[in-house]
């Protein structure tokens, strides 16, 4: 036997740091949506699809979308039609639909369990909710109880006999992360991450008792029960078939694996239907449980996350590509019959008049009516051909930058009918965008700054450019200067008085990776991904100088300024408010922990608009203009995330023979590095990964190991 030594450059912590990080996570978990001097106003919470359910008798399908659920009419499966929607405050992971009561039980992350009445499909009504201590990832209902797989908090048992007042009555702390749950008789079967399948006696709901477990090779994510077998979607190890005929001695008897991440499983008759992220729907014949065999497959456009079967159709929640309806009447030849496209990750937001303009990757431009902030409504959209990542508004036009090398000019004079009138292609992928007068300023990672003449919107034309030393990510304009942030070389100041002849006149390096910029009078506020908010004095453009720094961040990505406040969005910790009135000593004065991964921010009046990744558009009110809120002391806790990650940390994996193949996955199961075969030790992997949770799967000639890295 050999020991496999893995060197992770930025993804591991020392023991002392693990304690700090764990304390930090627990604190944030307990805070939920806590805030300081910021108030939640409203949201349009739609994004990726993780879950699906069907009511075949009423011809309804339910498709999760970010922090919401779409109710769809599937009378014609080839053309699903939206009837209504449900809004929650956090990501909808999975849900259970009870046909007898026409109720939808939603596992909504930090929100916990929500119960909705869908008897009127055009007007769903929320009946009640129950906060759970962890992140609710799945739910199953049996009798008067809902059983919630609550990730780090195990299995939670909730009395739903009074839907308007559900309450927790029992719990069982599973060894790892409870991701999926299925109920059969007096037992709960929990897909529990690295600890595999957990079987729990729930005959006394107030006192669930662990019976036994069955280890699976990878990370158990979902489970379905059929007859004497439990079928586990084991994220990195495919479908595992476990004989549960003897409950005290469950045994794996068969398996089926293929490239991709197994997220969801459903069983109908003699077939298991497995949602494999990256490779779509796989149909596996399990008539002989000891020898499961694939008999058919359908590769979906997105990342298959969940599957439910009803009659001759499989309904696949395909993440960024919504609901796919697949005809499985001939299992060996499945065919797509219909689809319902949904929103991609919300990337950027701009506000003008009574509308918010949201760009969301492959979903293009969405126009949201914000005239009533507590009741947001989509009123228009425009599907851009490429991947929309940045937007700015000038007059009656929206300027959208696509990653795939094109600027789109969209007429928004009629918000309900945005129409493209012109476009301009550039050689590189676009990351930043600003508009001033008759010119649009684009920055690209592989080049620097390009200037586009937009005086004729139908014919935007490049007129000038200036290369920067490294990777340019954002740009702001003030007077005759463009201020470009370059990940490798900090702030670059470019004279744009003659757009056809750009000249760099000054620069100031930052310690880390500069991501975003906003102008505050004679100062530039630069977001540094590694070192927080940096204040640069640009009163002399040829000699910019750093004068202040605020490091109270985990992963800051964007900044907007209003009055004396900088509003910074942090992917991990949400919206942060920094008082920059004393530029030499900027201080955090408010925050709001957003439910998704905050990517972009815009400010208009007293409202702050956040493009919140997987949960759409979030609106918060700045309470600093006279409304005082008690300081709960969390601001100090949020600062401990700085500098937690070491340059090099080692982890040993024992019992894997050489040669060995290494696979690196993130928490969603996405492949982060191409598999590499090693014949000698030590090795280095993960050098380019950001801080987070990763899985390293080491597969030897006769055995395999999986390690979770934080």
| 361-402 per-position pLDDT tens digit | 989 999 999 999 988 999 999 999 999 999 999 999 999 999
Residue position matching structure tokens 């620069």:
507
**Looking at the predicted structure, is the pLDDT value of residue 223 above 90?**
yes
State pTM to two decimals: 0.79
Taking alpha carbons only, the member of 575, 527, 573 closest to residue 551 is 527
pLDDT tier at 22, thresholds 50, 70, 90: very low
CB-based contacts of 558, cutoff 8 Å, min separation 6: 515, 516, 527, 568, 569, 598, 599, 600, 601
- Residue 12 has a pLDDT of 30
- CA dist 135 and 145 (Å) reads 18
CB-based contacts of 321, cutoff 8 Å, min separation 6: 49, 300, 301, 302, 303, 339, 341, 342
**What is the number of other CB atoms lying within 10 angstroms of the CB of residue 205?**
18
Give the SS3 label for residue 180.
strand
- CA dist 405 and 429 (Å) reads 5
DSSP conformation class of 641: G
- CA dist 139 and 338 (Å) reads 27
Mean pLDDT of all residues in 33-38? 79
- Residue 335 has a pLDDT of 97
Give tens-digit pLDDT for 507-535. 999 988 999 999 999 999 999 988 899 99
Mean pLDDT of all residues in 665-676? 59
CB-based contacts of 65, cutoff 8 Å, min separation 6: 46, 47, 48, 49, 85, 92, 322, 342, 343
- Residue 446 has a pLDDT of 84
**Looking at the predicted structure, is the pLDDT value of residue 666 above 80?**
no
What is the greatest pairwise CA distance in the chain? 80
Assigned token pair, 285 = 């014949």
Taking alpha carbons only, the member of 575, 610, 598 closest to residue 43 is 610
**Looking at the predicted structure, is the pLDDT value of residue 16 above 70?**
no
- Residue 344 has a pLDDT of 86
Instruction: For the domain made up of 35-44+560-631, give the CATH fold.
Output: Thrombin, subunit H (2.40.10)
CATH of the domain spanning 48-340, picked from 3.90.25.10, 2.130.10.10, 1.20.810.10, 3.30.505.10: 2.130.10.10
**Looking at the predicted structure, is the pLDDT value of residue 637 above 50?**
no
- CA dist 482 and 494 (Å) reads 5
Quote the percentage of the chain above a pLDDT of 90.
75
What is the β-pairing status of strands 523-528 and 532-537? Answer: antiparallel
DSSP conformation class of 151: B
Task: Give the range among 85-89, 101-105, 264-268, 696-700 with minimum mean pLDDT.
Answer: 696-700
121 beta partners: none
pLDDT tier at 29, thresholds 50, 70, 90: very low
pLDDT tier at 683, thresholds 50, 70, 90: low
- Residue 103 has a pLDDT of 98
**Contact criterion met (CB below 8 Å) for 595 and 615:** yes
- Residue 672 has a pLDDT of 62
DSSP conformation class of 70: E
Q: Where are the domains of the chain?
A: 35-44+560-631, 48-340, 348-559
359-363: long-range pairs with CB below 8 Å, 24+:
359/384, 359/388, 359/389, 359/390, 359/391, 359/400, 359/611, 360/47, 360/388, 361/320, 361/387, 361/388, 361/389, 362/320, 362/387, 362/388, 363/320, 363/388
Mean pLDDT of all residues in 413-435? 95
- CA dist 151 and 709 (Å) reads 17
Give tens-digit pLDDT for 232-272. 999 989 999 999 999 999 999 999 999 889 999 999 999 99
DSSP conformation class of 690: P
Strand order in the sheet with 490-495: 472-478, 481-486, 490-495, 503-508
Quote the percentage of the chain above a pLDDT of 70.
83
The DSSP result for 85-140, as a single string, is EEE-SS---EEEEETTTTEEEEE-BTT-EEEEE-SSTTS-EEEEEE--SS-B-EEE
- Per CATH, 48-340 and 348-559 having the same topology is answered yes
**Looking at the predicted structure, is the pLDDT value of residue 633 above 70?**
no
Name the average pLDDT for the chain.
Answer: 87
Taking alpha carbons only, the member of 86, 82, 166 closest to residue 124 is 86
Task: Give the range among 15-19, 36-40, 136-140, 267-271 with minimum mean pLDDT.
Answer: 15-19
**Looking at the predicted structure, is the pLDDT value of residue 21 above 60?**
no
**Cis preceding-peptide flag for 659 (omega within 30 of 0):** yes
- CA dist 621 and 606 (Å) reads 6
The DSSP result for 568-605, as a single string, is EEETTTEEEEEE-SSTTS-EEEEEE--SS---EEEEET
- CA dist 450 and 439 (Å) reads 10
Instruction: For the domain made up of 348-559, give the CATH fold.
Output: Methylamine Dehydrogenase; Chain H (2.130.10)
- CA dist 257 and 239 (Å) reads 6
**Looking at the predicted structure, is the pLDDT value of residue 549 above 80?**
yes
Give tens-digit pLDDT for 341-353. 888 889 999 999 9
106 beta partners: 95, 114
């Amino acid at each position: 036997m050999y020991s496999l030594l893995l060197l992770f450059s930025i993804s591991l912590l020392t023991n002392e740091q693990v304690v700090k990080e764990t304390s930090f996570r627990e604190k944030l978990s307990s805070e939920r949506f806590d805030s300081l001097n910021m108030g939640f106003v409203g949201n349009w919470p739609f994004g990726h699809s993780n879950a699906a359910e069907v009511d075949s008798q009423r011809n309804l399908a339910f498709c999760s979308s970010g922090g919401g659920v779409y109710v769809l009419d599937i009378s014609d499966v080839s053309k699903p039609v939206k009837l209504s929607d449900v809004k929650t405050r956090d990501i909808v992971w999975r849900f259970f639909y009870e046909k007898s009561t026409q109720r939808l039980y939603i596992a909504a992350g930090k929100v916990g369990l929500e119960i909705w009445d869908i008897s009127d499909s055009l007007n769903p009504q929320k009946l009640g909710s129950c906060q759970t201590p962890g992140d609710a990832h799945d739910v199953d209902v049996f009798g008067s109880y809902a059983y919630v797989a609550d990730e780090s908090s195990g299995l939670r048992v909730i009395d739903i006999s009074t839907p308007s007042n559900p309450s927790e009555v029992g719990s069982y702390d599973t060894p790892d992360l409870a991701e999926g749950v299925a109920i059969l008789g007096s037992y709960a079967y929990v897909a529990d991450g690295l600890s595999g399948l957990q079987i729990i006696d729930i005959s006394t709901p107030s006192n669930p008792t662990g019976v036994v477990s069955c280890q699976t090779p990878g990370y158990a994510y979902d489970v379905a029960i059929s007859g004497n077998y439990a079928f586990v979607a084991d994220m990195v190890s495919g479908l595992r078939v476990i004989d549960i005929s003897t409950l005290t001695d469950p045994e794996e008897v068969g398996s089926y694996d293929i490239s991709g991440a197994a997220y969801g499983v459903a069983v109908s008759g003699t077939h298991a239907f497995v949602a494999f992220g990256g490779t779509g729907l796989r149909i596996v014949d399990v008539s002989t449980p000891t020898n499961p065999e694939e008999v058919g497959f359908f590769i979906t456009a997105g990342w298959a996350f969940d599957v439910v079967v009803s009659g001759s159709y499989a309904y696949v929640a395909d993440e960024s590509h919504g609901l796919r309806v697949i005809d499985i009447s001939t299992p060996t030849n499945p065919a797509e019959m219909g689809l319902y496209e949904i929103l991609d990750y919300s990337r950027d937001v701009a506000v003008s008049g009574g509308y918010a303009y949201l760009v969301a990757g492959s979903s293009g431009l969405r126009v949201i009516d914000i005239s009533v902030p507590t009741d947001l409504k989509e009123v228009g959209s425009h599907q851009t051909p490429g991947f929309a990542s940045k937007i700015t508004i000038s007059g009656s036009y929206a300027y959208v930058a696509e990653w795939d090398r094109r600027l789109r000019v969209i007429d928004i004079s009629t918000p309900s009918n945005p129409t493209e009138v012109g476009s301009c292609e550039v050689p590189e992928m676009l990351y930043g965008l600003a508009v001033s007068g008759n010119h649009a300023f684009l920055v690209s990672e592989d080049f620097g700054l390009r200037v586009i003449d937009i005086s004729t919107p139908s014919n935007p034309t490049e007129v000038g450019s200036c290369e920067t030393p490294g990777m340019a990510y954002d740009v702001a304009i003030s007077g005759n200067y463009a201020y470009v942030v370059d990940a490798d070389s900090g702030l670059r100041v470019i004279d744009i008085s003659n757009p056809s002849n750009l000249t760099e006149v000054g620069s100031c390096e930052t310690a880390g990776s500069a991501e975003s910029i906003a102008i505050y009078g004679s100062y530039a506020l630069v977001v540094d991904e590694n070192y927080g908010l940096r204040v640069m004095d640009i009163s002399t453009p040829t000699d910019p100088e750093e004068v202040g720094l605020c490091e109270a961040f985990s992963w800051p990505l964007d900044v907007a300024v209003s009055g004396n406040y900088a509003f910074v969005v942090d992917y991990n910790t949400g919206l942060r408010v920094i008082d920059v009135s004393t530029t030499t000593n900027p201080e955090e004065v408010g925050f709001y922990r957003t439910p998704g991964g905050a990517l972009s921010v815009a400010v208009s009046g007293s409202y702050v608009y956040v493009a919140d990744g997987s949960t759409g558009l979030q609106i918060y009110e700045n309470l600093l203009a006279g409304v005082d809120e008690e300081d709960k002391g969390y601001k100090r806790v949020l600062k401990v995330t700085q500098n937690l990650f070491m340059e090099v940390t080692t982890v040993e994996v024992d019992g894997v023979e050489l040669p060995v193949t290494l696979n690196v996955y993130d928490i969603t199961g996405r492949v982060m590095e191409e598999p590499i075969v090693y014949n000698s030790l030590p090795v280095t992997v993960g050098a380019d990964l950001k801080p987070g949770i990763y899985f390293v799967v080491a597969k030897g000639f006769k055995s395999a190991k999986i390690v979770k890295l934080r």
